[in-house]
């Protein structure tokens, strides 16, 4: 992180909804490293107890199994609520469309109610998906997006857009100190093998010696951010009063085909690439304008793509491929 945000509070005790998920578990780790107590809320629908198993021995960490679409209660004081509960990959939200909408609406409402009750700062994990298949490139926070509300991705896109509106209303009418971060494609250790997104798909296929399945011609672009960098940005947002929305992502853009080729190289795989039908409403381009994050938080993504990919592949070999190997 270059520079630092204007700090307005110390975080002694934090709640992370979806804390056993990919990004949520990394947030729990980072908060513990900072000296905070952490209450992790998760229903394990897409998260996993294994993601936080190594934290269970820390007396400052507490895991509560619950669904934030039900009533949420956390005893004691809370300084920060990070709302990261939601299916996030197309494979998950296409399988769980109603729950995805419920957690975007009712889950966000309950998490905001918790922040209001505790007088806590609230940070919503929104998404670059609110920009849809963008007609403005790169995407600044001022862009309203190009979203198909009745398309297959609509349950996630519109759930997050509604959550942004709800957080903004709570800030304006309920005096809750809310902030919104729009997260762009993120990768790193703990991505599920069945996550369904491009990078975990490619790594799983490459390590198994299977063909890498690239949607369409692969010329659609993505900007991918290593998870450690993203976590720095989220926590920097958590200690400010900035309302957002604020983009967090790596503005370096590369094609999906290039990503697939880089995965083959990083894994030393003999796999080849095949092309499959491209999903409906798959964005042609996706790249954040991170000017606001750099100015307001002093934040930018620092981990080079190949370094992050190497860390992710090594974790995959150790934790996923090894676990899947026959005894």
CB 52 within 8 A of CB 61: yes
* DSSP class of 273: E
DSSP annotation of 132: B
The separation between CA 141 and the C-alpha centre of its own chain, rounded to angstroms, equals 17
Contact 241, 8 (CB under 8 A): yes
Phi, psi of 163 (to 5 degrees): -60, -40
Q: Which residue has the tokens 């198909």?
A: 148
6-10 long-range contacts (CB < 8 A, ≥24 apart) are: 6/240, 7/239, 7/240, 8/239, 8/240, 8/241, 9/79, 9/80, 9/121, 9/239, 10/79, 10/239
* Crossing angle of the two packed helices 305-316 and 198-207, in degrees rounded to 10: 50
Tokens matching residue 16: 């992370």
| Catalytic residue chosen out of the listed positions 156, 162, 170, 226 | 156
Q: What is the CA radius of gyration of the chain?
A: 19
Our answer to whether residue 156 is catalytic in this structure is yes
Catalytic residue numbers?
Answer: 156
């Amino acid at each position: 992180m270059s520079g630092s945000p204007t700090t307005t509070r110390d975080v002694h005790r934090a709640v992370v909804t979806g804390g056993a998920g990919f990004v949520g578990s990394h947030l729990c780790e980072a908060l513990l490293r900072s000296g905070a107590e952490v209450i992790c809320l998760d229903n394990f629908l897409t998260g996993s107890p294994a993601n936080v198993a190594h934290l269970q021995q820390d007396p400052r960490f507490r895991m509560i199994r619950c669904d934030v679409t039900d009533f949420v209660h956390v005893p004691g004081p809370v300084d920060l609520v990070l709302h990261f509960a939601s299916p996030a990959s197309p494979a998950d939200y296409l399988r769980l469309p109603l729950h995805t909408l419920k957690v975007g609406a009712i889950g966000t409402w309950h998490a905001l109610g918790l922040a209001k009750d505790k007088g806590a700062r609230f940070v919503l994990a929104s998404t670059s998906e609110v920009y849809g298949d963008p007609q403005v490139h790169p995407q600044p926070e001022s862009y309203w997006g190009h979203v198909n509300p009745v398309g297959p991705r609509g349950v996630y896109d519109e759930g997050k857009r509604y959550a942004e509106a709800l957080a903004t209303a709570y800030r304006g009418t309920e005096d809750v100190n809310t902030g919104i971060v729009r997260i762009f494609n993120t990768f790193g250790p703990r991505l599920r093998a069945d996550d369904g997104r491009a990078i975990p798909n490619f790594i799983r296929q490459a390590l198994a010696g299977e063909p890498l399945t690239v949607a369409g011609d692969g010329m659609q672009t993505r900007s991918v951010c290593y998870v450690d960098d993203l976590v720095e940005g989220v926590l920097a947002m958590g200690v400010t009063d900035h309302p957002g929305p604020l983009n967090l992502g790596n503005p370096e853009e590369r094609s999906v085909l290039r990503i697939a080729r880089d995965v083959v190289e990083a894994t030393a795989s003999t796999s080849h690439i095949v092309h499959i039908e491209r999903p409906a409403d798959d964005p042609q381009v996706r790249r954040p304008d991170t000017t606001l994050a750099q100015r307001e938080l002093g934040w930018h993504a620092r981990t080079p793509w190949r370094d992050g990919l190497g860390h992710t592949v090594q974790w995959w070999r150790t934790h996923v491929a090894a676990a899947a190997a026959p005894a």
